[in-house]
Chain A
Amino acid sequence: MFNLFKRKPPAPAPISPNAVKYVVSPATPNTEAFKALFVRQGMWVKTEQGVGIVTDAHPADQAVTVMLTDEQGQNKLAVVLPRASISQAALADIPEKRRPSAEWGASKGYV
């Protein structure tokens, strides 16, 4: 009778020198830098200057145009910022008049 636990492990397969090496991203991409990569038009974001709405975020661009808003959710100032300098706003950051429900917000990543 074989005892499987005593068998030697198989030798690793030889790696071709032409093989492409992949780096797998973390299973839970929760770093600020990672989040900053996924900005989209209409998204509420947090910046150093306050909360605002992304108005232009072409995937190829490193710059993002954001309309900063006041406490009523109305336009205050349009700014162009580096993509890496913004992050998705928290639910509580969104002006109350324009804040979605907790459930709806969570489905969009506003927690």
Chain B
Amino acid sequence: MTLLVPDTGEVVALKAFLNNTAATDPIIKLFATNVTPAETDTSATYTEAAGGGYAAKTCAGASWTFTAGAPSHADFAQQTWTFTGALTTNATIFGYFVVGTTSGTLLWAEAFTSFTPANNGDQILLTPKITAD
């Protein structure tokens, strides 16, 4: 499934594009509820993973690379979550959602094949890439 930019994220993008409100670093969080992203979602829709060595990751704006083309794209280095064991809330991760650093506003979300960390050293690898055509 491709990522979904909900209404809240669309407004943030438009405001940054038109120099109304400066963008902030996006933070990637893994969610642990079995939901499909919808256009009316907010960050409150998602239950963030907790425990098992999990921590959210910040993708600093300066570290993205941008390439013009068909489509143009923005790329970020692969992110790795290495778990120390099982999560302490819901056990399974179903995707990730991205929020703005200071606002906490939902920017985009994507479901992926679910994974249940169980052992020390279990990993989830995610390479952020956004295309625009």
Contacts and interface: CB of A to CB of B under 8 A. Distances in A.
Interface size class of A (residues with CB under 8 A): 20 to 34
User: What's the interface size class on B, roughly?
Assistant: 10 to 19
Contact of A42 (B4, B33, B34): B4
Q: Which among B4, B7, B39, B45 has the highest number of chain A CB atoms within 10 Å?
A: B39
Contacts of B6: 42
A75 B35 contact: yes
B1 A104 contact: no
A47 interface: no
Interface of A: 40-44, 53, 55-56, 67, 69, 73-75, 94, 97-100, 104-105, 108, 110
Chain B interface helix/strand/loop/mixed = loop
B78 to A, nearest CB: 25
B37 interface: yes
Interface centre among A42, A44, A67, A75 (most CB of B within 10 A): A42
A101 to B, nearest CB: 9
The 6 A-B residue pairs with the shortest CB-CB distance, nearest first, are: A42-B39, A100-B40, A67-B36, A42-B4, A53-B36, A75-B34
Question: Which of A41, A56, A97, A105 gathers most chain B CB within 10 Å?
Answer: A41
A51 to B, nearest CB: 11
A70 to B, nearest CB: 9
15 contacts: A40-B39, A41-B2, A41-B39, A42-B4, A42-B37, A44-B39, A73-B35, A73-B45, A74-B35, A75-B34, A98-B35, A98-B41, A104-B7, A105-B40, A108-B39
